[in-house]
Structure 1
Amino acid sequence: MNIRDIAKLAGVSVSTVSKIVNKKDASISKETRERVLKIVHEYNYTPYSSTINNATTTGSIGILINSLDYVDHALNGMIDYAQQKGYSPIIFNSFGDHKQELKNITTLGTKQVDGIIWDPINESSLINRNHIESLDIPLVLVGQMEEDIALSLPYEKAAYYLTKQLLERKHKKIACIIGDDNSNEAFIAGYKQALFDYNLKFENSLIVQTLDYGINDFIIEKQISGFVSADFFKSIELYNLAMQSGLKAPKDYSLLSIRDETEVKYKNYQDALSTITISNTSFGKYVCQSLIDLITKDEALQPFCEEMVLNNTKSIGLPAENERPKILVVGSINMDTYLYSSKLPHNGSTNLLSNLSKRPGGKGLNQAVGVAKLGHQVRLIGCVGSDSDSNNMFQELKKNSVNTEGVSRSDDTETGQAYIFVESSGDSMISILPGANAELSPAYIEKNHDLFSNVKYCLVQTEIPIDTVERTCSMATEKGVEIILKPSASKTISDMLLAKTSYFIPNEEELASVCPAFDTIEKKTEYLLSKGVKNVIVTLGKRGCYLRNAEQEKFFPAADFSAVDSTGASDAFVSSLAAYLLRGYCLEKAIQIATYAAGFLVSRDGITTALVDRMTLESFIAKKEPHLLLKD
């Protein structure tokens, strides 16, 4: 095969072929150049001048790879494109060995290739770049190179796209699953950027590299609502682990992943999981095309781009907590100081204490923790100081999976304090220093209006400013939320507030303060109903409680528990009542279950640690009165 044969096959003059093979073809069109070079390469034509001119084309390209990872679709894409264009690829693999990588570079330098594709082992490999540059031929780098223009798969763009899909669906607790290769850094960068653009803080604890059964706890406890994954096989692993706990996407969590288009044996999972395809084959072809474009001087190196499109939306939805109705608590947050003695203090006496302890408390915090322990999603709006006690409050709430988006810190005062005297019989008395609770304003409630969304019941207590209570109840009413009001530390309740209340739950002393003009419980509750209250439930301590509404009045006995500390019994009652009303129980059964919850609390020391969890409560009731657990 000589130059005349090449010219004849290409349909051009001999001089045109000569200019092209000797790279003096600036005036020749791209189409003619490609046609001639394809024939030159296919027929392995070597011009005479190549023996004395190193600038001539040889029709071969070098491919330097560093592991078995490339002996798949990306490499196949490079080879396929090279052969389509009439080039012969010469491939060397260093298998991650720097010494072998240098040997491959110097060996390839003797092959008189027209250009080289190089996937360095890492950044330190670039010290050997001078050996390639001395050949004065085009080079395309592949991988995540910080200091060079290199072609790489769009992991950063993919992570940003996937994370954004979850963020747009109101997810805020998004974990990032990474693989075991060098794509991790880019994928995490895209994930971080998406969080930043949506004003969410990056947490290193949400980067997941190893999966085990414990991941289900994070889903169940609502610490993670969605996952973006750089590894399709780990996505399958998560999917199967979650299934073992009865967790399904997108009902309980959302999962988005990248995958390669050739993973056909996992088609069942491809149909079940929402993924975007990153084509290694297409990437390999693009890398080779970029090198050949540089060889033929057609255009500058451009980054690899691939359209981001989800194959389906079967494993992506709204956060589980956004789909289920929840409970909102607005109230006080205190550091409780317990003072134990044989009897309660009284005027003119000196009382010796037997013990003292400090624990997080306040009716708002107690009720929120009580609801959370009974298995519901709960949000708390309250205020703490900027002291060390405030940190204890956040830790207690986090430990019990209470949403604290509505809890603010005040720079001007300390966290509220409660001093609780407890005598050996279990009776108690409380003195409160409001502290930061007094800073909880109507304006702050309005600022947190989003926390009223998808709420069924709003639990409010009057240990916070009464105008804040009124604004809370007004906003709740506007959104169709039922109000459960505990009138603690308040002498009077306005008619406007009573008219908005679905469940009014005073003890005997609080009832007397609110209704001083009446002498019996029946007359007092009748008065409250006349003011618009839907249901009045008066807690009577050891005697149980009394229900009054338009349809009925009824006494319920207390559960049979030995009293250790009665402090917080009403909080246990209120939180349990709300929890079982939300679960669909009728009011009578919810009250009876709530009396058991209060009984558990008084039989234990403390409040948050004494509040009963759902499994313990229902297991106990199932032995005593199993019919209570059957919904009507």
Structure 2
Amino acid sequence: MTNRSDRQTADVLVLANMLEKLRTHEGLTVARLHAGRSGIAEPLMELAATRRFASVHELDVATAAFDLVVNCVRDDLHGTQQIVADAILALGLHADTHARFGVDDRVIRSLYSTSLGRRREALLNHWHRLHEAVGHQPTEAPSDRALRGTTEPAVLRELANQLVRREIYSVGSKTVVMLDAAPAAATQPAAPPAGRVVVVGGAVMDATWRIKNLPAPETSSEAYGFDLSPGGKALTQAVATARLGLQTSLIAAVTDDRFGEEIMQYLEDEGVDTSLVKRVRGRRTPFTGVFEKELGDSIAVNWRNQSDVHLAPEDMDERRDQLVDCDALLVTFEVPRETMQRTLALAPRGVDNRPIVVVTPGQPYVDERISRDAFPRIDYLVAHPWELRNFTSQGQMPFDPDPVARNLLAFGVESLCMLVNGGCTVYSGPAHEVISVPTIPSIYKESATSRDAFCAALAAKLIDNGGKFSGQVALWAAAAMSCATADFPLTNSMPDRKRIDALLARSPFTVNGGGGVG
């Protein structure tokens, strides 16, 4: 979302002005924030995002404010912006990286000196070396005048902009609700998360190149951004459900290499239980290469390394108790077909308090037919139209998703949620009732993780409603998908409940055929 209100723009200006003042002398430090809590640093200290960070990590507000800025620089700024912000504010974010790269210790000390002038001098004199140390292709170093008058103000304004985004959106909140400031309220125990979810699927590393256009064959082009981060449909769904306040466990195969350790740490930081994760020793982490264009549409290439890193049917047998004792079970086709079918077979049917089963058929199994016994065990199949081709009879032309959807319900799938351009068409119930959920507009195209937000929100709302589906449940899940799409430029775009409710509050949409469905 790019059109901000005047108030949001004013907040950016206030924070940017504050950061410009705090860059002087020794830079941004916890001590200066403590000292300036009621003065220069007050705009940063009063951010709800700062107070949420303090609550999550049990920190005093000044330390939380400093750590929030460091997180914003690390996660939301890239390349030259990150390098300049790190040095100008004397954060020390890249000190260890520079040292490992062989940057002279005297240069590093100057880069984070208590003198702004020395920091600028070190930055300009070693511009290319500092960029190479963090793996970024350097541009031509600016002049001292350009650094002071143009580059620094632009970088600090972008940092302020990201801080305001964290204030508005879900990034960093981890679904924390601040307690009332009154002493009596502070003594009340926090309510436990409602609902337990188990997610089964893949956990990989995503290597994402941000590009304007794909290069033509036998040519190359420059990416304007690059990111290496944990990914995978199941991992993202687990993070999304945790942010919605659900007790979430992930069942996936993760290696013990450095990328596997990063995946585990990320899950723990996001509040996802990792006790059911299968650790694979001495193997390489699977990767997904993503080429992401400016408005969010992307293409991806997967290297699953399934011969070495996978969940086997017997792994699911060992975790049967956890599969049975949950409120919702989310399964993706990232696991082998036999493992997926065994997982569904272990989920109880025809009993009270059984888990709600949500299945994501991505990526579709190639040249492998799914057993007819699996379909009656699926409560909600959440698919893109192209993924339904794999459920058609071979040679059926032209492809029409509508009869395929109705056939899947005839085979036993309780509901099919077909996602198209940010909206949703739901086929549900024995009468094959069709519910049309509108698209909530966004300047961005549907991102790769939007469906994961939909699945998480669908599970959360169904748990809230005691398992009863309706058009309003579908609308809430579609709103979560729209939030993830609209927040696409942010590092972590999975929304919390407040973000979803806020979007629906200002979006006067109704659902066609939105009555309850038993």
Q: TM-score range by the shorter chain?
A: 0.5 to 0.7
Equivalent in the alignment of 2:439 = 558
Correspondences of 1:414-453 after superposition (within 5 Å): 414-435=284-305, 438-453=309-324
Equivalent in the alignment of 2:461 = 580
Contact 1:565 1:606 in 2 (8 A): no
Shift of 1:482: 2.4
**Which residue of the other structure, out of 526, 530, 547, is the alignment partner of 2:426?**
547
**Which residue of the other structure, out of 182, 189, 196, is the alignment partner of 1:247?**
189
Percent identity between the aligned chains?
Answer: 23
Equivalent in the alignment of 1:514 = 391
In 2: Cα distance, 1:222 partner to 1:355 partner: 28
In 2: Cα distance, 1:601 partner to 1:466 partner: 29
In 2: Cα distance, 1:606 partner to 1:447 partner: 39
Amino acid at match of 1:390: G
Q: Cα deviation per residue 1:299-341 (whole Å; 9 max; x = unaligned)?
A: xxxxxxxxxxxxxxxxxxxxx57xx541110010011111111
In 1: Cα distance, 2:333 partner to 2:269 partner: 26
Shift of 1:465: 1.0
In 2: Cα distance, 1:604 partner to 1:375 partner: 19
Contact 2:442 2:485 in 1 (8 A): yes
Equivalent in the alignment of 2:381 = 504
Shift of 1:344: 3.8
Amino acid at match of 1:247: P
Shift of 1:346: 6.4
Correspondences of 1:161-560 after superposition (within 5 Å): 244=186, 246-247=188-189, 325-344=195-214, 350-435=220-305, 438-477=309-348, 480-491=354-365, 492-516=369-393, 517=396, 519-542=399-422, 544-549=423-428, 550-551=430-431, 552-560=433-441
In 1: Cα distance, 2:291 partner to 2:344 partner: 32
Contact 1:385 1:435 in 2 (8 A): no
In 2: Cα distance, 1:374 partner to 1:398 partner: 16
Contact 1:360 1:393 in 2 (8 A): yes
Correspondences of 1:69-80 after superposition (within 5 Å): none
In 1: Cα distance, 2:216 partner to 2:416 partner: 32
Secondary structure of 1:402's aligned partner: coil
Amino acid at match of 1:457: A
Shift of 1:587: 2.9
Q: Is the counterpart of residue 568 in structure 1 residue 439 in structure 2?
A: no
Secondary structure of 2:327's aligned partner: strand
Q: Is the counterpart of residue 621 in structure 1 residue 500 in structure 2?
A: no
Amino acid at match of 1:533: V
Shift of 1:623: 3.2
Secondary structure of 1:403's aligned partner: coil
Q: Cα deviation per residue 1:37-84 (whole Å; 9 max; x = unaligned)?
A: xxxxxxxxxxxxxxxxxxxxxxxxxxxxxxxxxxxxxxxxxxxxxxxx
Equivalent in the alignment of 2:475 = 592
Do the aligned partners of residues 494 and 222 (structure 1) sit closer, same or farther apart at CA in structure 2, a change above 3 Å counting? same
Contact 2:253 2:310 in 1 (8 A): yes
Do the aligned partners of residues 346 and 612 (structure 1) sit closer, same or farther apart at CA in structure 2, a change above 3 Å counting? farther
Contact 1:568 1:607 in 2 (8 A): no
Do the aligned partners of residues 425 and 351 (structure 1) sit closer, same or farther apart at CA in structure 2, a change above 3 Å counting? same
Contact 1:596 1:617 in 2 (8 A): yes
Equivalent in the alignment of 1:64 = none
Tell me: higher relative CO, structure 1 or 2? Use CA pairs within 8 A at least 6 residues apart.
Answer: 2
Secondary structure of 2:373's aligned partner: helix
Amino acid at match of 1:611: M
In 1: Cα distance, 2:446 partner to 2:424 partner: 18
Q: Cα deviation per residue 1:149-183 (whole Å; 9 max; x = unaligned)?
A: xxxxxxxxxxxxxxxxxxxxxxxxxxxxxxxxxxx
Secondary structure of 1:338's aligned partner: strand
Shift of 1:541: 2.2
Amino acid at match of 1:354: Y
Shift of 1:614: 1.3
Q: Between Structure 1 and Structure 2, whose CA radius of gyration is higher?
A: 1
Correspondences of 1:141-160 after superposition (within 5 Å): none
In 2: Cα distance, 1:530 partner to 1:363 partner: 27
Q: Cα deviation per residue 1:253-290 (whole Å; 9 max; x = unaligned)?
A: xxxxxxxxxxxxxxxxxxxxxxxxxxxxxxxxxxxxxx
Do the aligned partners of residues 581 and 607 (structure 1) sit closer, same or farther apart at CA in structure 2, a change above 3 Å counting? farther
Correspondences of 1:52-131 after superposition (within 5 Å): none
Contact 2:205 2:230 in 1 (8 A): yes
Contact 1:344 1:429 in 2 (8 A): no
Secondary structure of 1:455's aligned partner: coil
Secondary structure of 1:477's aligned partner: coil
Equivalent in the alignment of 1:38 = none
In 2: Cα distance, 1:564 partner to 1:557 partner: 15
In 2: Cα distance, 1:484 partner to 1:380 partner: 14
Do the aligned partners of residues 484 and 469 (structure 1) sit closer, same or farther apart at CA in structure 2, a change above 3 Å counting? same
**Number of aligned pairs?**
323
Shift of 1:443: 1.1
Shift of 1:626: 9.6
Shift of 1:513: 2.4
In 1: Cα distance, 2:346 partner to 2:184 partner: 38
Shift of 1:607: 8.0
Amino acid at match of 1:501: I
Amino acid at match of 2:391: V
Contact 1:366 1:607 in 2 (8 A): no
Secondary structure of 2:347's aligned partner: helix
Contact 1:369 1:608 in 2 (8 A): no
Contact 2:454 2:480 in 1 (8 A): yes
In 1: Cα distance, 2:311 partner to 2:469 partner: 34
Equivalent in the alignment of 1:226 = none
Secondary structure of 2:412's aligned partner: coil
Secondary structure of 1:404's aligned partner: coil
In 1: Cα distance, 2:205 partner to 2:184 partner: 38
Shift of 1:477: 2.9
In 2: Cα distance, 1:607 partner to 1:493 partner: 37
Do the aligned partners of residues 345 and 603 (structure 1) sit closer, same or farther apart at CA in structure 2, a change above 3 Å counting? farther
Contact 2:417 2:425 in 1 (8 A): yes
In 1: Cα distance, 2:175 partner to 2:296 partner: 36
Do the aligned partners of residues 241 and 378 (structure 1) sit closer, same or farther apart at CA in structure 2, a change above 3 Å counting? farther
Contact 1:581 1:587 in 2 (8 A): no
**Which residue of the other structure, out of 484, 489, 494, is the alignment partner of 1:601?**
484
Contact 2:324 2:348 in 1 (8 A): no
Cα RMSD (Å): 3.1
Q: Which runs of 5+ in 2 are unaligned?
A: 1-172, 177-181
Contact 1:424 1:564 in 2 (8 A): no
- What TM-score does the superposition give when structure 1 sets the normalisation length? 0.47
Equivalent in the alignment of 2:98 = none
In 2: Cα distance, 1:242 partner to 1:458 partner: 38
In 1: Cα distance, 2:205 partner to 2:187 partner: 37
